[in-house]
Amino acid sequence: MIGFTAPWALPGLAAAAIPLLLHLFARRVPPTVVFPATRYLAETARAHHRRLTLQHWLLLLVRTLLIAALVLAAAGPTLPSAGLATHAPAALTLIVDNSLSSAAIAGGTPVLDGLRRAARSILSAAHPDDRLWLLSADPTPRPGTPQQLAAQLAELTPSELRLDLGQAVALARQAMAGQPLRSTIVVLSDLQRTAVTATTGTGPIVVVRPGDGSVPNLGLAGLTAGRQPWGPEGGRVSATIAGSEQKTSALSIRVGTRPPRQQLVTANATFSAASGVLGPGWWTVRAELEPDELRLDDVRVNAVRVAAAARAGWRSEDRFLATACDVLLQSGRLVRGSELSIGWLGNASSIVLPPDDPATLGALNRSLASRGVTWHYGDLVPGSGVLDSGATLGRHQILRRYRLVPGAPNSGAPHGILLTAAGEPWAVLSGNVILLGSRLEPAWTDLPVSAEFVPFVDYLANRAVRGEVALLDVAPGDPAMLPDAATAVSHDGSVHEVEGGSRFRTRNSGLYFILSRRDTIGVIAVNPDPRESILERASDAEIRRLWPGASVVSPDAAAGAALSAGGRADLRGPFLVLAAVLGLADAMLAGIGARRAARRGA
């Protein structure tokens, strides 16, 4: 079907009606000339009327066609035609998938090499009038000439980034939007099923399917260390394997400098290993599979924080709280001491409950204010409420609570809302003080009589009051939200200052420790996206279902298909030739009268 590179010019076709409209409506009453020899004119008209009428209509037709041909030429008509030596100027975005999976060795060479060859063949067939973009796993579409893009292509290496092809196609369409040429997207990818996703917009897509099939692979999909900080007794590290089901591989997990634990694993299996007793501090965890066709997903790293049990004091009159603390004492999660006051506002870290006697509330608020705590207790809120911070606790009933009222936060000190009830703060942190809105008694809440109570007290005593350890696990290129207290990020000995609460993004795998001044308050474990380990390819049917109208071709046919999809036969030339011929015909037809007049004049 005929297409146009500048369809906005097509309304100009209405101008083709101008000669006809002039003929029909612009005819004015001619002046009357007294002419004695009218009998000769009448005789002439009778003899030549048909010829001249035909000539007039022919002239009208020629002029109409001339305008139409010029307008159509301006609209840049194109015609689909495969295998053309030349093509109309086209907009072409090459999506070259250099994501982690492109490093897989297939047939002795990296998959990316094959994709690069196919991309080069397309660039070599392009000409300077084409508008070209190159989009890789970056993913930033980069415009350039065929030569410039070929140079960029040569420097392209497998990246640890993941490339969502659906999003990449949408991004490419966005890049080409607004330019007048016919747009085509060429996807050069290993076509992982997990990467082929639905996209938005319409337009021709040429998918170049690599010649070799997918290769078997096993990769580390996850490495977790459970809730932290660990106590001195250590904890367990779990590694998850992804990839080809029929394949097995040897997995080793090492915590710090401890001897590695090894295990034969298969896809979708989870291997857990105990760390043993560890000293306080940060420990790196490294899981590694034996090398296979895709090396970049064979290693995964993480970090754990080991902290000593909180040295806390509690009062026996807080019956339910004291019982929970005794349980934690027996399990080693708490040690008797004075570093933490559980139930009242002490001199050091404190977990503060509201007083049973409302009369003492004012004194407590004044003490809080003098300690620099930015929250204080407000009115007693009667009636029921539900804890609605499900990530930390279940939905427990709150029967009575004091409203927690915020003040101006101290800069630098950790602060924030830990839990909410009925949409209002119920547990808040300000510096090293946690305020709870309710007393931990059945008359105030059903939490003390639930199974979650002891872990909740452990959470408050060992993690929340010390400031939550930020353990972020992201893929390369994905953003990680830094804690508010973060001031810098450290990686391999180099320190980069950051703004607390901002997003941190890196393209390289590894451990990035989050610093708050001198303290390490968390870690960002950057590891490959586990979906990159699944090399199974999407079928042609799946591709066409997700990208309607897409054509799937082999690398050898990439150039022809790309240019025949978007680089259609340029019809501007033929239309201009037609316009020239019509112009000539017009001049000849119109010139007949002029020549007659000239001869008469001579």
User: With binding defined as CB under 8 A, does residue 22 bind another protein?
Assistant: no
| Cα of 21 vs its chain's centroid, Å | 55
Stretch of 47-55, 83-91, 158-166, 223-231 contacting another protein, by CB under 8 A: 47-55
Stretch of 38-46, 465-473, 488-496, 506-514 contacting another protein, by CB under 8 A: 38-46
CB of 584 to another protein, least distance (A): 19
CB of 146 to another protein, least distance (A): 55
CB of 19 to another protein, least distance (A): 16
Closest by CA to 262, choosing from 276, 254, 270, 303, is 254
Quick one: 19 or 431, whose CB is closer to another protein? 19
CB of 560 to another protein, least distance (A): 54
Structure tokens at 241: 């394997």
| Single residue of 1, 26, 33, 391 touching another protein by CB under 8 A | 33
User: With binding defined as CB under 8 A, does residue 34 bind another protein?
Assistant: yes
Structure tokens at 146: 């065929």
Stretch of 44-52, 198-206, 422-430, 449-457 contacting another protein, by CB under 8 A: 44-52
| Single residue of 36, 178, 383, 390 touching another protein by CB under 8 A | 36
Token pair 């330019």 is found at: 179
CB of 579 to another protein, least distance (A): 25
CB of 35 to another protein, least distance (A): 4
Is residue 436 a contact partner of residue 426, using CB atoms and an 8 Å limit? yes
User: With binding defined as CB under 8 A, does residue 356 bind another protein?
Assistant: no
Residues 575-594: x where in contact with another protein by CB under 8 A, - otherwise, as a string = -----------------xxx
User: Whole-angstrom Cα distance, residue 435 to residue 70?
Assistant: 79
Give the length of the chain. 602
Count CA atoms within 13 Å of residue 477 on its CB side.
15
User: With binding defined as CB under 8 A, does residue 596 bind another protein?
Assistant: yes
CB of 588 to another protein, least distance (A): 14
User: Whole-angstrom Cα distance, residue 332 to residue 325?
Assistant: 10
Quick one: 51 or 518, whose CB is closer to another protein? 51
User: With binding defined as CB under 8 A, does residue 39 bind another protein?
Assistant: yes
User: With binding defined as CB under 8 A, does residue 45 bind another protein?
Assistant: yes
End-to-end CA distance of the chain: give it in Å, rounded. Answer: 53
| Single residue of 42, 151, 369, 580 touching another protein by CB under 8 A | 42
User: Whole-angstrom Cα distance, residue 114 to residue 555?
Assistant: 8
User: With binding defined as CB under 8 A, does residue 32 bind another protein?
Assistant: yes
User: Whole-angstrom Cα distance, residue 160 to residue 165?
Assistant: 15
User: With binding defined as CB under 8 A, does residue 50 bind another protein?
Assistant: no
Structure tokens at 435: 């305020």
CB of 182 to another protein, least distance (A): 45
Which amino acid is located at 440 in the chain? L
Residue 222: C-alpha distances to residues 84, 241, 272, 525, 529 (Å): 50, 7, 11, 11, 9
Quick one: 38 or 109, whose CB is closer to another protein? 38
Residue 108: C-alpha distances to residues 2, 116, 212 (Å): 44, 15, 10
Stretch of 24-32, 99-107, 404-412, 539-547 contacting another protein, by CB under 8 A: 24-32
User: With binding defined as CB under 8 A, does residue 52 bind another protein?
Assistant: yes
Is residue 290 a contact partner of residue 260, using CB atoms and an 8 Å limit? no
Quick one: 479 or 593, whose CB is closer to another protein? 593
CB of 590 to another protein, least distance (A): 9
Which amino acid is located at 161 in the chain? L
CB of 599 to another protein, least distance (A): 7
Closest by CA to 340, choosing from 404, 266, 273, 434, is 434
Q: Where are the beta strands (DSSP E) in 297-436?
A: 299-306, 310-314, 334-336, 340-343, 349-352, 375-381, 385-386, 397-398, 401-406, 415-421, 424-430, 433-436
Burial degree of 268 (CB within 10 A; 0-12, 13-18, 19+)? exposed
Site residue total, another protein (CB under 8 A): 29
Stretch of 40-48, 111-119, 285-293, 460-468 contacting another protein, by CB under 8 A: 40-48
Quick one: 14 or 594, whose CB is closer to another protein? 594
Closest by CA to 290, choosing from 252, 341, 335, is 252
Token pair 């001031």 is found at: 487
CB of 589 to another protein, least distance (A): 10
User: With binding defined as CB under 8 A, does residue 31 bind another protein?
Assistant: yes
Q: At what angle do helices 111-125 and 558-565 cross, to 10 degrees?
A: 50
Quick one: 518 or 599, whose CB is closer to another protein? 599
CB of 65 to another protein, least distance (A): 21
User: Whole-angstrom Cα distance, residue 42 to residue 182?
Assistant: 58
User: Whole-angstrom Cα distance, residue 356 to residue 365?
Assistant: 14
Quick one: 43 or 542, whose CB is closer to another protein? 43
User: With binding defined as CB under 8 A, does residue 41 bind another protein?
Assistant: yes
User: By the criterion CB under 8 A, which residues form the site for another protein?
Assistant: 29-45, 47-48, 52, 55-56, 592-594, 596-597, 599-600
